[in-house]
Structure 1
Amino acid sequence: MELVLFLAATVVAVLLGSAVSTLNRVHGRIRSVTALGRPDIDHYELAYLAGGPRRVINTAIALLSAQDRIRVSRGGRITTVAGAPTSSRDAVEQAVLDQASSPGGRTAGEIRHEVAGGVAMTGLKHRLIGRGLLLPDGSLTEPRRIHARLRGLTLLAFGVEVLSLVMAATGLVPWNVPTLLAVLFAGGSGVRGLLAYRRHARSLRGLLTRGGLDALQAARKRQPYSAGSVSGPDLYALSSAGYEPGMAVHHPIAAESAAYAAMAGAVALYGLGQFGDQAVAAEIGREEIVHHGAGGAGATCAAGACGGGTPDGGSAFGSDGGGSGSDSGSASWGDSGGWGCGAGGGDFGGGDSGGSSCGGSSCGSSCGSSCGGGGCGGG
């Protein structure tokens, strides 16, 4: 009987080792996409890489508010400002302006829900895919299937280990070399499988390619996280905007551009916690329930978590944690395991932790529930 246990442990160890190697190879091949085109990306592209559609929309609302083109009222209702321009060259900003110009305005959650599943967001997503910064939907189907098989083999390995220990402890099999090897083989392979499963569980939630992650990390290096909101004189001191601090005095137009660029980059990379007016930021991040279907019947989802579901399954934007109005339920993209989620713990979270903040569910045109081998951020 001890030989049967030894044979079972050996077979499970071989199968599990093969699954781990295959998953590493397949997942690595899919992620190893070289970025194409110009190396620089705008703040809305950065926002998508760092936190997905939710971060993009929150960034657009915040920046339009900073330009006094929309007004964010208590309760999160957003309206256009009378006399302010109602057109924009950016498709996402235009989509937000169109929603805000509706009679009576729209809440931030309603705007997130509508824009996340709209043409502007789809165009931004496809632009990132075309440049090799984001994986197309369905790309991770195979590694996720291997990942599920790895989970089963890991449980089987620990099962063989427990069975061997119980049978040896009760005297059903003697403590000899085959029994000892069965325990060691099953336990060792189970631990290896568990570690690999947990590592890939984080990475498979994101869709950033290696090129996308490199672009996100380069942007964070140029503009590090700043504790507290970025506003006022602090804006002029950010070298990432491309201006020297003295230009704030000698070149007002350049200083204004530097301030705007710095704020846009900070909110895109790290969330609403970086926006200068935290009262407005809290209203933008306000959560409410949006009902889908006639008469409010049918599915419901947290509008604040709306992002855009992925056919791949799982959640496209991870749980961002954070304080009031944070992006819980929305995935972040830039740091989980090194492939795909943003850091910062959410729109109201902390700095670049390097960990994963993926998980949760997202809603686009439908309630659904994505970060890659390492990708998170906050919405």
Structure 2
Amino acid sequence: MDYFLLFAALGVVFLVNVAEQSVERERRRVSEPEPTGAGHDLSHYELAYLSGGPRRAINTALAVLARAGAVRVSRGSQVTAVYGARPSPVPIEQAVLDALAARPGGYRAGELRRALEAHPAPAGLAGGLRARGLIVPEEAFGTAWRRRKLQKAAVAVAGGFALLVVALAAARLAAKEPVFLGVLFFTVIAVVSGLAALARQRRRLRNVLTKEGRAVLLSARGHHPRGVHDQSSLALAVGIPVALYGLQDAGDQSLCDELSAGDPGGDCAGACGTYGGGDGTTFGSDSSGGFGGMDFGGGSSSCGGSSSSCGSGSSCGGGGSSCGGGSS
């Protein structure tokens, strides 16, 4: 019996591994085609969306508009329009100004972000990035998600086998040979590795950046290291740092604190890359687990410091912002 269980345990380990590889192959087919090598001249708002989705793009617009004097952020995270601020030619900035103009009392920052996430302006950023092959729609992973259901079934088989092994040992029908230690070892391996693989694939399938998208984002971070603020333009001084690293890099801690007040996902907590949306979609992290040795979504890693050049396949940054500096 013990020898039979040993072979069965090895079979379960193999089953769990094959199930994950099936999911992984499909995920890679969708999200990791070879980069085109074409240059990508991205605005700071496109970089923001690539780095943190609609939330990061909206935060970047808020930071730029606030520093330009077009909006006011007061205590309690209240955002209001400044009278006399000029319209902006940048769609996502104008979306913020329009929303505030339609509500004289303004919005709390969190409410404003939620109101704008479904606005056509962030959707336009996403569409442009998809057209460039930098992000994929989450629904493109439909086949991979279906295969993950089979992966769940394989893990359930591993769990059932573990219960069977325990029951047989308790009934003294097994554990009579030294090889039973091997049965226990491989059974634990099957269950633990299977559960870890499920979590890993769930995270990877939520990441909508392509391989080329991750390369462009890493290149941008190398070209614009964290903590470096080029004061030659508002886009370089505020837009690019917030786009790549979050509100914490806006150069104004009080602005960061107010825009993040009462928001558990606030960028001032130190999260410098991945955005987890309400539907679990994530941006800006490596879906294969290694992004230049850094986890941009962890919040505890240092997210600048790359030595790669933005010229290697992408032209990052750009895009000025002309936000009115109306008087209060």
| TM-score normalized by the length of structure 2 | 0.76
- Contact 2:260 2:266 (8 Å CA) reproduced: no
Q: CA deviation at 1:188?
A: 3.8
Query: 1:37 and 1:123 mapped to 2: Cα distance?
Result: 21
Alignment-derived partner of residue 23 in structure 1:
23
What amino acid maps onto 2:106 in structure 1? Answer: R
Query: 1:321 and 1:160 mapped to 2: Cα distance?
Result: 44
Alignment of 1:235 with 2:229, yes or no, is yes
Q: CA deviation at 1:335?
A: 2.2
Q: CA deviation at 1:170?
A: 4.3
Cα root mean square deviation, aligned: 3.5
Query: Structure 1 residues 345 and 263, CA, compared in 2 at 3 Å: closer, same or farther?
Result: farther
What amino acid maps onto 1:235 in structure 2? Answer: H
Alignment of 1:256 with 2:207, yes or no, is no
Alignment of 1:282 with 2:260, yes or no, is no
Query: 2:191 and 2:10 mapped to 1: Cα distance?
Result: 12
Q: C-alpha deviations, 1:263-312, integer Å up to 9, x for none?
A: 2111111111111222122222234xxxxxxxxxxxxxxxx58xxxxxxx
Number of matched residues?
Answer: 296
Alignment-derived partner of residue 98 in structure 2:
98
SS at match of 1:117: coil
Query: Structure 1 residues 157 and 205, CA, compared in 2 at 3 Å: closer, same or farther?
Result: same
Query: Structure 1 residues 281 and 192, CA, compared in 2 at 3 Å: closer, same or farther?
Result: closer
Superposition map of 1:49-68 within 5 A: 49-68=50-69
Alignment of 1:215 with 2:191, yes or no, is no
- Contact 1:36 1:131 (8 Å CA) reproduced: no
Alignment of 1:351 with 2:297, yes or no, is no
Higher relative contact order (CA 8 A, sep 6+): 2
Query: 2:76 and 2:123 mapped to 1: Cα distance?
Result: 28
Q: CA deviation at 1:158?
A: 4.1
Superposition map of 1:192-341 within 5 A: 192-226=193-227, 235-236=229-230, 255-257=231-233, 260-287=235-262, 323=269, 333-338=283-288
Query: 2:297 and 2:25 mapped to 1: Cα distance?
Result: 29
Query: Structure 1 residues 114 and 325, CA, compared in 2 at 3 Å: closer, same or farther?
Result: farther
Superposition map of 1:114-153 within 5 A: 114-153=115-154
Alignment of 1:172 with 2:141, yes or no, is no
Query: 2:78 and 2:193 mapped to 1: Cα distance?
Result: 51
Alignment-derived partner of residue 9 in structure 2:
9
Q: CA deviation at 1:152?
A: 3.6
- Contact 1:332 1:342 (8 Å CA) reproduced: no
Query: Structure 1 residues 335 and 320, CA, compared in 2 at 3 Å: closer, same or farther?
Result: farther
What amino acid maps onto 1:81 in structure 2? Answer: V
Query: Structure 1 residues 84 and 333, CA, compared in 2 at 3 Å: closer, same or farther?
Result: same
More deviation in 158-167 or 323-332? 323-332
SS at match of 2:79: strand
Identity %: 33
Alignment-derived partner of residue 32 in structure 1:
32
Q: CA deviation at 1:31?
A: 1.1
- Contact 2:248 2:267 (8 Å CA) reproduced: no
Q: CA deviation at 1:27?
A: 1.2
Query: Structure 1 residues 80 and 37, CA, compared in 2 at 3 Å: closer, same or farther?
Result: farther
What amino acid maps onto 1:281 in structure 2? Answer: C
Query: 1:210 and 1:325 mapped to 2: Cα distance?
Result: 21
More deviation in 75-84 or 181-190? 181-190
SS at match of 1:126: helix
Q: CA deviation at 1:43?
A: 0.9
What amino acid maps onto 1:333 in structure 2? Answer: F
Q: CA deviation at 1:189?
A: 3.3
- Contact 2:246 2:267 (8 Å CA) reproduced: no
- Contact 2:81 2:100 (8 Å CA) reproduced: yes
Query: Structure 1 residues 94 and 35, CA, compared in 2 at 3 Å: closer, same or farther?
Result: farther
Alignment of 1:74 with 2:49, yes or no, is no
Gaps of 5+ in 2: 305-328
What amino acid maps onto 2:253 in structure 1? Answer: Q
- Contact 2:271 2:298 (8 Å CA) reproduced: no
Q: CA deviation at 1:16?
A: 2.0
SS at match of 2:229: helix
SS at match of 1:71: strand
What amino acid maps onto 1:273 in structure 2? Answer: Q
| TM-score normalized by the length of structure 1 | 0.67
Q: CA deviation at 1:63?
A: 0.2
Query: Structure 1 residues 146 and 6, CA, compared in 2 at 3 Å: closer, same or farther?
Result: same
